[in-house]
Amino acid sequence: MTRHPATVVAWLVVACAPVPMVRADAQSLEPRPSPPAARLRGMVFDSVARAPLANAAVRVFRSDSAADGVDVRTDARGAFSVPGLRPGTWLLSFLHPRLDSLRLEPPLVRVEVVEAGEIAVTLAVPSAASLARALCGALPNDSTAAVVGDVRDASARRPVTGATVRATWPEWVFAKRRMEREDVTRVARSDSSGQFVLCGVPQGTTVRALAYREADTTGVVELEVPHTDYAVTDFVLDRTRTRRGVVRGVVHTPDGKAFPNAVARVLGSGTLVRTDSNGVFRIADAAAGTQTVELRALGYEPQRRPVTLVPGEPLALTFTVERARVLLDTVRVFAGRKLPPDVVAIERRWRMGQGVILDAATVRQRTSNHLTNALFAVPGVRLGMRNGFGNTVYFRGVGGECIPVIYLDGFRFVANGLSLDEIVAPDEVAAMEVYVRPMQRPAEFTDLADCGVLVVWTRYYLGNVPVFDPRRR
């Protein structure tokens, strides 16, 4: 006898697992009610910026199954909604570029759904004060910040481990019934991920910072710290030193016309160049990494811009020149204003009396056209004519005349065929330091050349704070 396969299966089931007879009525045939579902309503808030976070990607998923979840986006008000969550344990998180910019990991929130209804939840970026306390502990006062960031290689973009990040600024110290000023330095080391944390940096000011590892270093940049407890800045370090950074720039007037004969340089490295008739300049031999590009033109405000130079990737910049403002000398109030550290250093060297230092008033009295004319009558200095604008400065040494090493605002000035008179106007100068003999050179300007040093400081760089002769105060 042949049996249908379905009959065989049914028989086997009945024979192996007998089921007791149950009376079926109309009530037992009704579908079982579905488990209660809850509605999740929430907001994503940026506590650092104190504003809702729009277009954040919110992920809601089961705690025991990450694949079982829902993805939604926040609206312009930072709000989101997820309907139909079944009972159980759910986890919430969100992604947004803001987290990357603050060097934060996405938060994770746990939600228990036990019955139908509406659940309200808030996902937030921690406040600046909370972030600073988590990184630096209890802050000494309410005017300091934690500065965090990454140190990466300029070519491979890999994290640089063990790099030193240093920030320096001036502070006043009250001791022994006197008020003294000292330079304060904070130093941090980058970890295995390239991240660093500088604690106790003053808010609402500008500090000078750089990063270095062994012989590799970035340029010195002016870091503006906002009025907040938490700030982010990054450094890029050139580890290879075999390929150079390239800067291409265009300089315009306020009405959009090309501006020729402006002078551009990368502070501390590269060639000093001049814009052509189209207002274009190109620096092809600058050190890679975090650097500062400076643009100068007679009669116009100097500009400095922090940049990141990557070998093999030319950087394009655009500058708009502005007419120099008429600046009046600032009356210094020692109890009410922090002096730039360079001003204190200049006056300290002036007090030692090793060289000749001219303040802004003396420079203006001695010349009105060429800056170097102010050096007339300085012992050991001779000015020579040159084929072009300005003079050539010579120092008289033991072995004869020599051309001094020139520093402009603390950085070595690479002339590249240009004269100092073409770069700086007399009314822009805050002080000039002249050290004719090599043995007179201060430690800050130690150089291998067998000649003296000429140091020029501009009012722009010193924050329009005048330099005074401390011996006459």
pLDDT in tens, 266-278: 987 778 889 999 9
Q: Do 48 and 94 fall into the same domain?
A: yes
Distance CA 395, CA 401 (A): 5
Q: Do 195 and 219 fall into the same domain?
A: yes
6 lies in some domain: no
Burial code (b: 16+ CB inside 10 Å, e: under 16) for 396-419 equals ebeeeebebbbbbbbbebeeeebb
Q: Do 80 and 198 fall into the same domain?
A: no
Report CA 251 to chain centroid distance, whole Å: 24
pLDDT on residue 32: 58
Please choose, from the candidates 16, 19, 95, the residue with its C-alpha nearest in 3D space to the C-alpha of residue 55. 95
8 lies in some domain: no
Strand order in the sheet with 411-412: 356-359, 429-435, 453-458, 405-408, 411-412
pLDDT on residue 204: 85
Asked which of 201, 216, 237 is the last residue of a domain, the reply is 237
pLDDT on residue 33: 60
Q: Could you report how far apart the first and last alpha carbons of the chain are, in Å? A: 126
pLDDT on residue 141: 61
pLDDT on residue 8: 30
How deeply is 280 buried, as exposed, middle or buried, from its count of CB atoms within 10 A (0-12, 13-18, 19+)? middle
pLDDT on residue 175: 56
Range of the domain at 296: 245-320
Q: Which residues pair with 458 in a beta bridge?
A: 429
Distance CA 59, CA 46 (A): 17
299 lies in some domain: yes
Q: Are the C-beta atoms of 420 and 443 separated by less than 8 Å?
A: no
Q: Do 161 and 266 fall into the same domain?
A: no
pLDDT 10s digits, 357-370: 999 989 988 887 78
SS (H, E, C) the chain: CCCCHHHHHHHHHHHHCCCCCCCCCCCCCCCCCCCCCEEEEEEEEECCCCEECCCCEEEEEECCEEEEEEEEECCCCCEEEEEEECCEEEEEEEECHHHHHCCCCCCCEEEEECCCEEEEEEEEECCHHHHHHHHHCCCCCCCEEEEEEEEEECCCCCECCCCEEEEEEEEEEEECCEEEEEEEEEEEECCCCCEEEEEEEECCEEEEEEEEECCEECCCEEEEECCCCEEECCEEECCCCCCCEEEEEEEECCCCCECCCCEEEECCEEEEEECCCCCEEEEEEECCEEEEEEEECCCECCEEEEEEEECCECEEEEEECCECCCCCCCCCCCCCCCCCHHHHHHHHHHHHCCCEEEEHHHHHHHCCCCHHHHHCCCCCEEEEECCCCCEEEEEEECCEEECCEEEECCEECCCCCCCHHHCCCHHHEEEEEEECCHHHCCHHHCCCCCCCEEEEEECCCCCCCCCCCHHHC
Tokens linked to 145 = 């910040």
Tokens linked to 162 = 């063990």
How deeply is 147 buried, as exposed, middle or buried, from its count of CB atoms within 10 A (0-12, 13-18, 19+)? buried
Intervals of the chain under pLDDT 70: 1-36, 139-142, 172-181, 325-338, 387-389, 398, 415-417, 447-448, 473
- Look-up: residue for tokens 């020139």? 406
Q: What is the CATH number of the domain that holds 442?
A: 2.170.130.10
42 lies in some domain: yes
Q: Do 105 and 212 fall into the same domain?
A: no
334 lies in some domain: no
Q: Do 109 and 140 fall into the same domain?
A: no
215 lies in some domain: yes
From residue 161, give the alpha-carbon distance in Å to each of 153, 233, 237.
10, 17, 11
Q: What is the CATH number of the domain that holds 218?
A: 2.60.40.1120
426 lies in some domain: yes
Amino acid at 392: T
pLDDT on residue 178: 60
Q: Do 345 and 418 fall into the same domain?
A: yes
pLDDT on residue 89: 92
pLDDT on residue 445: 84
Strands 216-217 and 109-113, bridge-based pairing? unpaired
Asked which of 90, 125, 160 is the last residue of a domain, the reply is 125
Q: Do 118 and 152 fall into the same domain?
A: no
Please choose, from the candidates 322, 85, 128, 297, the residue with its C-alpha nearest in 3D space to the C-alpha of residue 225. 128
Sequence-separated (6 or more) residues with CB below 8 Å from residue 160: 151, 152, 153, 190, 194, 213, 237, 239
The number of distinct structural domains making up the chain is 4
pTM over the 0.75 mark? no
Q: Do 347 and 465 fall into the same domain?
A: yes
pLDDT on residue 464: 79
Q: Do 233 and 148 fall into the same domain?
A: yes
Q: Do 133 and 227 fall into the same domain?
A: yes
Q: What is the CATH number of the domain that holds 105?
A: 2.60.40.180
Q: Do 228 and 256 fall into the same domain?
A: no
Sequence-separated (6 or more) residues with CB below 8 Å from residue 217: 210, 211, 237
